[in-house]
Structure 1
Amino acid sequence: MRYDYAVVGGGIVGLATAHALSERHPGAAILLLEKEDGPARHQTGRNSGVIHSGIYYAPGSLKARLCAAGVRSMIQFCQEHGVRYEQCGKVIVATEPAELPLLERLHGRGLQNGLRVQRLSGEEVREYEPHVQALAGLRVPSTGIVNYRHVSAVLTMLARSRGTDVRFGTRVTRLRPTAQGYDIGTTAGDFAARVLVNCAGLHSDRVARLAGTDPQSRIVPFRGEYYELREDRRHLVRGLIYPVPNPDFPFLGVHFTRMIDGSVHAGPNAVLALRREGYRKSDVNLRDLREVLADPGFRALARRHLREGAQEMLRSWSRPLFVRSLQRLIPEVRAEDLVPCAAGVRAQALTPDGRLVDDFLLVDGPNALHVCNAPSPAATSSLEIGRAVAARVPAASRPVLIAPHRQGVSA
């Protein structure tokens, strides 16, 4: 059967894209291919479940615009479909004098992005989080929590109810451009589609190259390791507690997150995974590892962030160091309060010159669109990313080469 649109990837971005395509093109034949036996098995199902506000992202960027809109879309979606969520807000706290200017800069960025952001003194921080020790803080009330696996399950149900052919357990092995679109080889047989949309997350760069498009970036997997607070110590955290992020490092730092089920997670750190789906320290894939270590961009990145990278590695192997990071926020936390829990892997795009791509990356190909960088806050922004992608790809009834955009941040 020939489809109008084929979406590769059954994480929340792929599912939201299929959802948006079915809304924008009623009656279109849509195929969704996912190599795992169900939805949301990687980045989507292994993140901290935060509905991000958009405070961190450069004003005018895709992340800033789609995240701010995504908060509203995600909450509306949860309300309409009975998915449990909570807008609990979060505090971002400065624990050292050197962090105060960075906190003030973050406050200004939040205002530029149209957010309600409240300055807090150290005493006011403790009104929200009594066990936190801080000099000052910011409160962002729009931040929330949800289980994105539940959101993905609803998106899967909606896709099927609208006629989308959802194929789990189907790995893409071949993509051949044709005059009519693409011939798609998979482990479950061959398909054809007029337009290809690549939402393959950790493998998005490889899928793009398989389709004949150079994304001018490579996915580097960073594992985020978490601990969970023992049940009798959950009272130490009411909501979400974040440090002031390092402006030169693309991660938010170790923080506390109350999950929608009431548990409290502490983390993540950010260490190079030795496999694209390397959720354990012992997970190694020689192909994945060779690609990263041979990449000039990664070597440049490693030299530039040698100190931060070494600290993350040490914290990965040393519980006392991990605990010390947490104690900067809540001094009462002890090593015996923590239990290891499931890790996640962030699919981070890296340019050949060693720059970590700090925005969502959309790359055009012939009758195709490749989502080649969609780490956090992609889950929050997923419904809006899906709409942006659906608006950008051509109508499948008249396949034409997509006019090239500047690769990267245009939508």
Structure 2
Amino acid sequence: MSRVIVVGAGIVGLAVAYELTKRGDVPIVLEKESSEARHQTGRNSGVIHSGLYYKPGSLKAAMAVKGAESIRAFAEEHGIDVEICGKLVVAVEQSEVPELEKLYERGLANGVPCRMISAEEAREFEPHVSCVAALRVESTGIIDYKGVCRKLVELIRAGGGQVIFGAEVRSIVSDDNGVTVDCRSASYEADYLANCAGLYSDRIASAAGLTPEARIIPFRGEYFELRPEAHHLVKGLIYPVPDARFPFLGVHLTKMVEGGVHAGPNAVFAFAREGYGWTKINVKELLLSASWPGLWILGAKFIGPALNETRRSLSRSLFAKSLQRLVPAVRKEDLVPTHAGVRAQAMLRDGSMVDDFLFQRAPRQIHVLNAPSPAATAALEIAKDVVEELDSFK
């Protein structure tokens, strides 16, 4: 039986801790916030992703497909709200059909249940959608990820583990005997460490004496809700054909498991890792991002799309126009601002965004440096890999 410190109480950290308890180990989850799932997990769109978009053979592809099954089973077992409603990816113009067909082939390669359908068939699922063709994905669903995390905390504690809130990590020391983590209020000792700190994963790795392979660059995604009077316009999930150059899927319409419809997110550079609005600025974190050469290389390469995202962020009318491509009946007046999220995007020095889950290892430590979407969907599967890595240290 080993003691393992897990940094971060988002869904990935909690899933790792839960997997440890199932194997007879004792996890100690350290979370700087006052409760679980306060950042990426608690601010995402609540979608169970199918594995459609990811490069065949990648960790994302394999874990998303398995994760869609395991997270659904977990929710059903524990009475957490979940619904497998399927989704449409729609080609609004004929020029988008080739990319849609490529997406279909990728889905088949990944083992995703999907099929190409006509515009008429698409409107049987979504009567108000505008398209010339669509891809129907049956395994996509919606779920209460906060509810999943609350249950994981309960199960971890019931299994003999600890979940400690208000525990902000300051330093990490590792030697032949184990790992010591100093927080503001106390120190904790364990045999091993798993860094699942999301937005701060690279900084935790640095605190442990590593040189992170990538730097976390924060991108804010802003959402609107549709007014109740407009809920009938969306029955499930409606996505555009994504731009293959970017890791973001474009604004989409998503039925929520608790009711209502969310619209978004866009993707704009955030001035803080918890920069949920334009006025939230953390100078130290902004300088960390600005000093990373990869950000400037990326910005120069995609200045046009970046400016378009910024304009859409500042204009509800432009945001509405993006949605009207998918569902013309959506009006600017139907959009009500709601929460924003920040994506922890790992970026290399050459400006390339890390496209897959990224793990960095050190003696007695594993660091999850990149776990963006579909990490929530795949959390239980990521946890198995992380715990197997920790087992290899024994």
Give the aligned partner of residue 115 of structure 2. 118
C-alpha distance in 1 between matches for 2:2 and 2:201: 21
Deviation string for 1:144-189 (max 9, x for gaps)? 0011000000000000000101101110111112221211100221
Q: Report deviation, 1:3.
A: 6.6
Q: Which moved more, 1:286-295 or 1:6-15?
A: 286-295
Residue identity opposite 1:10 in structure 2: A
In structure 2, runs of 5+ residues without a counterpart are: none
C-alpha distance in 2 between matches for 1:266 and 1:75: 23
Partner residue of 1:353 out of 350, 354, 361: 350
C-alpha distance in 1 between matches for 2:293 and 2:277: 26
Give the aligned partner of residue 190 of structure 2. 193
C-alpha distance in 2 between matches for 1:125 and 1:7: 44
Give the aligned partner of residue 313 of structure 2. 316
C-alpha distance in 2 between matches for 1:349 and 1:395: 26
SS of 2:361's partner is: strand
Give the aligned partner of residue 132 of structure 1. 129
**TM-score with structure 2 length normalisation?**
0.98
C-alpha distance in 1 between matches for 2:317 and 2:26: 54
C-alpha distance in 2 between matches for 1:39 and 1:307: 37
Structure-to-structure mapping, 1:371-382, within 5 angstroms: 371-382=368-379
C-alpha distance in 2 between matches for 1:213 and 1:134: 49
SS of 2:12's partner is: helix
Structure-to-structure mapping, 1:8-407, within 5 angstroms: 8-24=7-23, 26=24, 28-394=25-391, 398=394
Deviation string for 1:249-279 (max 9, x for gaps)? 1100000000001110000000001000011
Residue identity opposite 2:48 in structure 1: I
Q: Report deviation, 1:98.
A: 1.7
1:388/1:3 CA distance change after superposition, 3 Å: closer
C-alpha distance in 2 between matches for 1:96 and 1:194: 56
Q: Which moved more, 1:75-84 or 1:147-156?
A: 75-84
In structure 1, runs of 5+ residues without a counterpart are: 399-411
C-alpha distance in 1 between matches for 2:203 and 2:223: 28
Residue identity opposite 1:103 in structure 2: L
Asked whether the equivalents of residues 87 and 239 of structure 2 are also in contact (C-alpha less than 8 Å), the reply is yes
SS of 1:379's partner is: coil
C-alpha distance in 2 between matches for 1:214 and 1:65: 28
Give the aligned partner of residue 407 of structure 1. none
Deviation string for 1:84-121 (max 9, x for gaps)? 10000000000112211000000000000011111111
C-alpha distance in 2 between matches for 1:36 and 1:138: 40
Say what the alpha-carbon RMSD is for the aligned residues: 1.1
C-alpha distance in 2 between matches for 1:59 and 1:101: 18
C-alpha distance in 2 between matches for 1:195 and 1:133: 52
Q: Report deviation, 1:248.
A: 0.3
Q: Report deviation, 1:395.
A: 5.9
C-alpha distance in 1 between matches for 2:158 and 2:323: 45
Asked whether the equivalents of residues 20 and 26 of structure 2 are also in contact (C-alpha less than 8 Å), the reply is no
Q: Report deviation, 1:295.
A: 1.1
C-alpha distance in 2 between matches for 1:359 and 1:134: 30
Residues paired across the two proteins, number: 394
C-alpha distance in 2 between matches for 1:205 and 1:14: 15
**Is residue 6 of structure 1 aligned with residue 29 of structure 2?**
no
**TM-score with structure 1 length normalisation?**
0.94
Deviation string for 1:212-248 (max 9, x for gaps)? 1122100001000001000011000000000000000
SS of 1:378's partner is: coil
Q: Report deviation, 1:394.
A: 3.2
Residue identity opposite 1:113 in structure 2: N
Give the aligned partner of residue 406 of structure 1. none
C-alpha distance in 1 between matches for 2:101 and 2:45: 26
Residue identity opposite 2:206 in structure 1: R
